[in-house]
Amino acid sequence: MPDGPHHPDAQRDPDERRVPDERRVPDERRVPDAQRATDEHRVPDAQRDPDERRVPDAQRDPDERRVPDEHRYPDEQREAVYRVIAERRDVRQGFRPDPVPADVLRRVLAAAHQAPSVGFSQPWDFVVITDRARREQIAALARKHRDEFAAGLPGARARAFDRLKIESILDTPVNIVVTCDRTRGGRHTLGRHVQPQTADFSSVLAVANLWLAARAEGLGVGWVSFFDERELAAQLGLPAHVEVIAYLCLGYVTGFAPEPELATAGWARRRPVSWAVHAEEFGRRGLPGEEPVDPLADVIAAIAPPDTAAMSAAAERQDRMTKPRGSLGVLEEVSVRLAGLAGACPAPLPEPACVAVFAADHGVHAQGVTPWPQEVTAQMVANFLAGGAVVNAFAAQAGAEVTVVDVGVAASLEPVPGLLPRKIAPGTADFTQGPAMTREQATAALTVGLEIARDLVAAGNRCLVTGDMGIANTTASAALICAFTSADPAEATGRGTGIDAATYARKVDVVCRGLARHRPDPADPVGVLAAFGGFEHAALAGFILGAAALRVPVILDGVISGAAALAAAALAPDATAACFAGHRSVEPGHALALDHLGLSPLVDLGLRLGEGTGALLALPLVQSAARALRDVATFDSAGVTEKQ
């Protein structure tokens, strides 16, 4: 039978017959192996077209002049290399039943085997699996761990995960397991003495080579990691000293998506390369040839006013929805503000959501402003991570994720899932004796907050929620609120966790003494934060700025978040467009802060806990406002007669 109109066998290299090649990199189609750009088949300079060997300086971009390029590939080949890198995808769907020819598999495996390795130890092996029965057993292992993972996801994440296809073990004709033998190369392998994990890293490079070669051949690859590594190793008969690095599913596909599948599904976003490049030392960001980036200045510059056209469209749609005008009260304003922030009507649903609890200790605790011992901060962080706090209960009810950030706890915290270690210092100094922190520390904490916001949004969150933990942080909040609003300390200072009259009087006096000592200038918000703030205040301010720059809504909790929002608004006034006041705390300073920011609380329940609890109670209201604008029919679309 003929193979089809496009690629008759008679016109192909015999080894290439029956290989679906419409998904190959075009430059590679029908190119004999001897002409492909591999380490074994490079074209010597002497045999190249002279115009490809040397580009006259006058014809080059000035930045390219005087670059030794005698070993550089010609433009067309170089573009093909970068293209295969850009188009590599973790594929989970759209696989075709076509078998993968043995010669193609050999080429892909040979490419993987050419990866660099520590001490040239080549610690990898490749287990090629085609047997259906074996793959069914392995797929069952993956399903078991997939279900366990799904059971622990918060609501919106669980719904999104349920829509994802996470493996194609049975949909692909070939599975390849890449392993690592850390003992290979012997005791004195070069480069492995201090860092034995470099053996694993070497095997990962083999995975990367395999993936790129597969894409060049038109093969899709999907990485499956829902396994207990030892369970899978037993299934494969691996010796005890050999570990699984990657389980890969290979096959021809109907097409390669323009973006990663998890990005198009809304599960995560790609981080810009500028976020990932550091100059000389970590934290000093800057792309080669460009000035180092000031992350704070960069974020502030990205914050823009709300989109008035989108707000007008949202207000007009509210008036046409099948309800009396204005009947949703404050929620109508929320939906309009969400549209202005997103620059679209209707705005995307603000889910998934994540509450970030920033934790730190305060030097002003030494002034006796609270009966609670300072070690409670670290103890409560442990409680958050164990899932035993009110914030955990409220987050579970609202379907939100809880992330805890150690930005300045005065104790060493063990690394556990859910804890982000970003400690600037073990607590601030006593602001009655001097600045609470240096200006550099304040900037560092701001940067921590904005980067946490960036990372959480890149992870797929569409709404951020502020949380805090820090014994004595209401004292620092009162000082910050006074500095930014010029309020009287007696009016801005509250009873925090519940203090007696003597302690309250001492607390007001501490705020007065701090203000008199530092004489804060609200036009210098970083200086104000350095004078009085906690590391969690500065980090929360950065968190708000980061959300505003990405045009993602951030729901504010109580007085600590309110004080941080004042600092954020002083740095970038348009940042308030991203802020939604979740509730009004009984702390008097919180009402002063909200009034100064021009924000109205969504709930007022007499709360004074912190942690993010009040903001989480408001999360369903913000989400409901967005959903109503999106889903409720209009009078004309529903055929409902409007009021005359």
Catalytic residue ranges? 611
Question: What order do you get walking across the sheet with 174-181 strand by strand?
Answer: 124-129, 174-181, 242-252, 219-224
Q: Kindly calculate the radius of gyration of the chain based on its CA atoms and give it in whole angstroms.
A: 29
Give the list of residues 6+ apart from residue 247 with CB closer than 8 angstroms, or none.
Answer: 138, 175, 177, 223, 224, 225, 227, 232
In a 10 Å sphere around its CB, with 0-12 CB exposed, 13-18 middle and 19+ buried, how is residue 84 labelled?
A: buried
Q: Which has the closest alpha carbon to 515: 468, 458, 546, 476?
A: 476
- Report helix, strand or coil for 96: coil
Helices vs. strands in the chain: H and E counts, helices first: 24, 10
- Report helix, strand or coil for 323: coil
Q: How far is CA 24 from CA 28, 211, 473, in A?
A: 7, 13, 59
How many other β-carbons are positioned within 10 Å of the β-carbon of residue 571?
Answer: 21
> What is the separation of C-alpha 43 from the centre of its chain, rounded to a whole number of angstroms?
43
Q: Is residue 49 a contact partner of residue 239, using CB atoms and an 8 Å limit?
A: no
For 406, the token pair is: 């150690």
Q: Is residue 254 a contact partner of residue 241, using CB atoms and an 8 Å limit?
A: no
Q: Is residue 382 a contact partner of residue 484, using CB atoms and an 8 Å limit?
A: no
Q: Is residue 510 a contact partner of residue 475, using CB atoms and an 8 Å limit?
A: yes
Three-class SS string for 132-174?
HHHHHHHHHHHHHHHHHHHHCCCHHHHHHHHCCCCCCCCCCCE
Q: What does the longest C-alpha to C-alpha distance in the chain come to? A: 97
- Report helix, strand or coil for 104: helix
Q: Which has the closest alpha carbon to 593: 617, 621, 569, 618?
A: 569
Q: Is residue 367 a contact partner of residue 479, using CB atoms and an 8 Å limit?
A: no
CA distance 164 to 20: 27
